[in-house]
Structure 1
Amino acid sequence: MARTEYYDDPDAPKPNSLVVAASAVVTDDRGRILLQRRRDNDLWALPGGGMDMAESLPGTAVREVMEETGYDVEITGLVGTYTDPRHIIAYSNGEVRRQFNVCFRARIVGGSLTVSDESTEVRFVEPSELDALPMHHTQRLRLQHFLEDRPRPYLG
């Protein structure tokens, strides 16, 4: 299923759903950040996805990281909350969503690197390489807030 992301675009379709989601900034012992290249839009992104009814948000982040990267992680903190109504995601099946995303910090506690059917590539990226990767503005914002090592989470 194809995915198109809009940001502050007056021509974006109107949302027909609101999705609660979690993502995680996972780093290795060298400070590199775990990213996936999404199959649905060919952009680099943090692992993450929608929360199931029986889950907590931290549990969602742990599950999504495992499903999308093969790593088992432990949540260690909060990067921020991201609820910008100017960000609209449209899917080829007709869903047009606004997404409420909570982005966590996490560390690897097990597993091994795997590429899921949702991605074409998964790898650790040096922070200095981030600007060269094709990535949506909202992903860059989460990474910027993580790299700023803020004393308090971003609330937006």
Structure 2
Amino acid sequence: MARIEHLNNPAAPKANSIVSAATTFVQDGMGRVLLIRRTDNELWALPGGAQDFGETIAETAVRETAEEAGIRVEVVDVVGIYTNPHHLVEYSDGEVRQQFSICLRANYIGGEPTPSSESSEVRWVDMTELDSLPIHPSMRLRIDHGFENRDKPYIG
């Protein structure tokens, strides 16, 4: 299913859903962040996705990181909570989702970066490479906050 992300776009369709989701900020031993290249919009992003019934948001982050990137992680902290009502994700099935995502910090446990049906590429990315990659501004905000190692989570 294809998706279009709208940020501060007055012509964007109105939201018709809000879904709790998690993204995972995890670094390797060299300080690089794990990123996936999404198959639905070809943008680079932190691994993540919607919470399923019966799981905690930390379990969502662990599951999504394994599914999309082949990496096993342990959640250890919160990077931030992202709820900008002007960030909408429009899906080809007609759903228009208002942003509600919790970005969790995780420790790398094991596994090798492995693409999936949701990720055409998976790799560890150095902070100096970020400007050369196509990354949506809302995702870049989460990545930047993860690298900042803030004392308190971002709430916005």
Q: 2:80 aligned with 1:80, yes or no?
A: yes
User: More displaced, 26-35 or 103-112?
Assistant: 103-112
Task: State the TM-score, normalizing by the size of structure 1.
Answer: 0.97
Where does structure 1 lack aligned partners over 5 or more consecutive residues?
Answer: none
Shift of 1:99: 2.4
Match of 1:23 in 2: 23
Match of 2:104 in 1: 104
How far, CA to CA, are the matches of 1:72 and 1:54 in structure 2? 20
Shift of 1:77: 1.1
Deviations 1:67-106 (A, max 9, x none): 0011110012110000000000001111110121000111
How far, CA to CA, are the matches of 1:151 and 1:134 in structure 2? 28
Letter in 2 for 1:98: Q
Letter in 2 for 1:125: V
User: More displaced, 62-71 or 139-148?
Assistant: 139-148
Match of 1:56 in 2: 56
How far, CA to CA, are the matches of 2:11 and 2:4 in structure 1? 13
Shift of 1:47: 0.1
Task: State the TM-score, normalizing by the size of structure 2.
Answer: 0.97
Match of 1:150 in 2: 150
Match of 2:71 in 1: 71
Q: Which runs of 4+ in 1 moved over 6 A?
A: none
Deviations 1:6-33 (A, max 9, x none): 0010000111111100011110000000
Shift of 1:119: 1.2
Work out the percentage of aligned pairs sharing the same amino acid: 54
Does the residue aligned with 2:62 lie in a helix, a strand or coil? helix
Match of 1:93 in 2: 93
Letter in 1 for 2:142: R
Match of 1:141 in 2: 141
Deviations 1:93-137 (A, max 9, x none): 111101210001111112222101111110000001111110101
Deviations 1:121-154 (A, max 9, x none): 1000000111111010111100111122111110
Does the residue aligned with 2:115 lie in a helix, a strand or coil? coil
Query: Please, what is the CA RMSD of the aligned residues?
Result: 0.8
How far, CA to CA, are the matches of 2:42 and 2:22 in structure 1? 20
How far, CA to CA, are the matches of 2:126 and 2:145 in structure 1? 16
